[in-house]
Structure 1
């Protein structure tokens, strides 16, 4: 239950504390006094969109604070605790709107996203205004009303259908994507297969291009390599026909040098060390000469091998120009291409599987749509009876309400049904859509009847706010509207913004919104009226004056309704 709202610098309200009680509370006041700002402030607490224009001129920000009394196990209490709010004996919600348009929310003393206020509002307050009447002019809203009234049976059937519908839509999209891409898939497959055939025919090996490049260089310069290495070997080891005075190369010279040192090195340790080093050099040169001799023997002067190497390099070059900078990259491309080919070849199987899946899901959603239709029809029948019962309390006892559920001719995201609330306002007339047959006053009463019927069905929202839902109603019908609101207030807190004295007279608590100005600033405030003040307000609402006749009329109205002027 809403206990109080504190409003600061919102519209023409500079600061006001409004206390609410159980039962029926009405807010009245002159046109333009600021009654709408009270409803607007409540909307802000429930997550409605904010606007910098809401901030009172000259103020930096507008602040609305609401205090709700909710049980510990109420969904709003649970959600507030999940958001980190402190919920002790009451739940405090705060909404701040800056002059620049920025908005902040606090739940139970903790900062929270504005969206959390909206979630809490669904469990705390149901706000209905004149704009809600336009919902009856939209066929989709008729379906939503039936679904909400149908509660768990309809909700379960609708959830099952929507799940199947979404799965079917996804499968159809996937199938259409595969079919649409069939030509591109075939072209990609052709390119991949040709590439794989070329690679498989060439059978490249890891690192083969680098190895062949080295071999090509060696074979192409084989003669120069042989001559250079042979000459170096002769210079080191001497020629084979060197006898007597012939050149025995560097090795011979080193041998003679060692002989010369060995004859005297025993006399000087320093010279002995030089002899040792000379011996090491001689061994190294001997090994080098031997390696050069082996290299000369191994130099390949085979022109056929050179031609093959160059041809092989050209063959591999064709692959690297198309599939990678190196043979290793070509081989990696081949592995990836093989996997991709398997994927693309599997698309045909996927198409077959998806076709089966689409057919199965289509049958499933059709079955579930039928179950949803049956659940809606059951809910629609009950809702029609409840609305008619409520209208009988609103001076429309002859009205007949038929909530029809008919085939839409196709399966949509919400099922296969068109739902329409039909009204036969007079005996003998055929039901027609309320969007076409109801007058303004009738539409207000139908809307109120619907709200009362659906409210009693849900039973979870503790507070209902009606913003001039009695627009277009007058006379005896206005008394009936007030009586029905008072009846609803026996099981829930009801707050009504009204311009009708016949409605206001039913109130348990009467609040008046008034404005004043000092010639420079206009202010609006809210006060509770009892006793003669309440009589005066009812007189103003009925006659526009405070004449004795108007006051007497107001007293008679309260007396006729069995209401005390001190309410």
Structure 2
């Protein structure tokens, strides 16, 4: 089939804008554009309406295998394009993955004939799991396909909070829970540290006493090592200093010779006409330097202890420091800091009663603040649950679910299960027959009945979800007349705020659509392909009339179709 493009404007904060399908089962090549509101998909049984949903599911991370690849093709390919508002949750997922994002999100999936699958987001290769995460934020499918959202009990608490506008209270509870857990963690860490310190208390006392007696000081090792090196060669050093001193200050020393030369020249300086002044200045400086050298030698000589016991004492100190360093596995210069650390741990043991008591008081204060806020949130949830139950109850009878009863269960959790979302478990339950116990939503009847039940919930909760596109697959199964009309009315209401795609066999539902797409088969050579046509005006009336009368379209059927179309809200 030649590629088709249905140019329809896209509206809404989060909508499926376009769907391009190639070589999926009976679809050779198909390009569809969508807009917000209610879009109905009709066609005879077996025309391939379910293939469209399979294709959309493939783009959104559903399981794909080679059976989806059109016979004779190398691979199936589906591309879905969405328009999003700037605050849509999908952007957070994209940022988390380091992916580029703007107000257009394009997801693409291929499945080859040998079953291999690949995925892309905005032309960047990704894992199929990411498509599924994004899909759960963009589209909900209700009917004969796998569903998420409201059928997942884990979402019910947040859905109830959104319905009752309790997000502020819930955020406050979450913040108080974090504060409580932080104090409890500090308390647990302190208790563990104290227990660890207590188990090594004897070692700590011995180590601190040992280091106290040693009184190590930073930089001491280097100083001792330098002094030791001098003392180890003290005889040679002293001998050299004495010889140098004799050369400088003896009877024939430099110091005496310089002084004598300076006196001689000074006496004759006036008669030399200033020519001796530089020599006199140089000798004067040399004499001063020599005197300074003599003084330095005297000082150094005084610092060199000739007592052999001094070296022994110094080495004893140096070796003791190095032994402690090896024992504790730290550098000599770090022994002082180690002593302070061990002393602090020892002090913790001695002060443990006060510390743990204070942390226990802080934890109890934080727990009480959390408990009060969580109880307030629980009361608000209980009140909201009653309102939600009443709202859903009004939607059930027109949908031929008058015997069903919806209940929002809000029950307390054990303290061990309290968390950032509060101290409640919230679950949506339903009893489908009088006298039968209520059960989980995902345990009720499947097919059309389940889809209608989800429709009732969605009508009530229309403004609580960030998912902008809802898909209902044959929500009208097994119904007709007034019930089908009620389904159509509710789908149309949903379409006022969301994008709703409905696969339907009901003319009452089809007449409510703001967009009408017909899925049909066509023979091309020796093969059969599925295509989609956008209907309007007479074509739409003719399709609804066909749905009313069957193979032979009568004038009465056309008149009835006109009446249904005219009855749109």
State which of 175, 178, 182 in structure 1 corresponds to 2:187. 175
When residues 41 and 131 of structure 1 are mapped into structure 2, their CA distance, relative to the original with a 3 A threshold, is closer
Q: Residues 417 and 471 of structure 1: is their aligned pair in 2 closer, same or farther, counting only changes over 3 Å?
A: farther
State the number of aligned residues. 519
Kept in 1, the 8 Å contact 2:546–2:557? The answer is: no
- Provide, for residues 309-350 of structure 1, a one-character-per-residue CA deviation record: whole Å limited to 9, x for no partner: 343334334344446887544335445555666677766544
Distance in 2 (alpha carbons) for counterparts of 1:93 and 1:297: 87
Is 1:102 the counterpart of 2:120 in the alignment?
Answer: yes
Deviation sequence 1:476-514 (CA, Å, 0-9, x none): 475245343355268446633223234444334421123
> How much does 1:552 deviate?
6.7
Q: State the 1:448 CA deviation.
A: 1.3
Give the Cα–Cα distance (whole angstroms) in 2 for the partners of residues 489 and 300 of structure 1. 101
Instruction: Report the 3-state secondary structure (helix = DSSP H, G, I; strand = E; otherwise coil) of the residue aligned with 1:357.
Output: helix
The structure 1 residue matched to 2:461, chosen from 449, 454, 462, is: 454
Do the aligned partners of residues 440 and 194 (structure 1) sit closer, same or farther apart at CA in structure 2, a change above 3 Å counting? same
| Rounded Cα–Cα distance in structure 2 between residues aligned with 1:477 and 1:434 | 28
So what's the TM-score if we normalise by structure 1? 0.68
Are the counterparts in 2 of residues 369 and 416 from structure 1 also a CA contact under 8 Å? Answer: yes
Provide, for residues 180-227 of structure 1, a one-character-per-residue CA deviation record: whole Å limited to 9, x for no partner.
343323356665554443333233455444444454455555555555
CA distances 1:251-283 after superposition (whole Å, capped 9, x unpaired):
79979x989x99xxx99xx9x999999999999
- The alignment partner of 1:102 has SS state of strand
Q: Does 1:558 align with 2:561?
A: yes
Pair 55,167 (structure 1): closer, same or farther in 2 beyond 3 Å: farther
Please list the CA deviations of residues 103-131 of structure 1 after superposition, one character each: whole Å capped at 9, or x if unmatched.
2079xxxxxxx99x969977xx8765545
1:148-547 to 2 correspondences below 5 Å: 148-149=162-163, 151-152=164-165, 154-186=166-198, 194-205=206-217, 207-219=219-231, 222=234, 226=238, 230=242, 300-322=305-327, 328-334=333-339, 349-410=354-415, 411-413=417-419, 414-425=421-432, 429=435, 432-433=438-439, 435=441, 436=443, 438=445, 440-455=447-462, 458=463, 465-468=470-473, 470=475, 472-476=477-481, 479-485=484-490, 488=493, 491-492=496-497, 495-508=500-513, 509-516=515-522, 518-519=524-525, 524-530=530-536, 533-534=539-540, 537-538=543-544, 546=551
CA–CA separation in structure 2 for the residues paired with 1:286 and 1:494 = 103
C-alpha displacement of 1:532: 6.1
- Gap change, CA 1:301 and 1:416, over 3 Å in 2: closer
**2:33 corresponds to which residue?**
18
Question: What secondary structure does 1:360 align onto?
Answer: helix
The structure number with the bigger radius of gyration is 1
Secondary structure of the 1:147 match is helix
Go from structure 1 to structure 2 and tell me whether the alpha carbon gap of 1:352 and 1:541 turns closer, same or farther (over 3 Å shift): farther
Distance 1:318 1:516 in 2: 93
SS at match of 2:398: coil
1:376-435 deviations in Å (ceiling 9; x for gaps):
221111111111111121123454434343334444333333444444545x53552264
**Alpha carbon RMSD of aligned pairs, Å?**
5.5
**Shift of residue 27 of structure 1?**
0.9
CA contact (8 A) 1:536 1:551 kept: no
Gaps of 5+ in 1: 69-75, 84-90, 107-113, 239-247
Q: Secondary structure at the match of 1:393?
A: helix
Question: Given that residues 140 and 470 in structure 2 are in contact (C-alpha distance below 8 angstroms), is that contact kept between their aligned partners in structure 1?
Answer: yes
Normalised by the length of structure 2, the TM-score is 0.68
Cα–Cα, structure 1 residues 278 and 540, in superposed 2: closer, same or farther, change >3 Å? Answer: same
For residue 210 of structure 2, give the secondary structure of its aligned residue in structure 1.
helix
| Counterpart contact for 1:482–1:506, Cα < 8 Å | no
Q: Aligned in 2, Cα 1:202/1:524: closer, same or farther, shift over 3 Å?
A: same
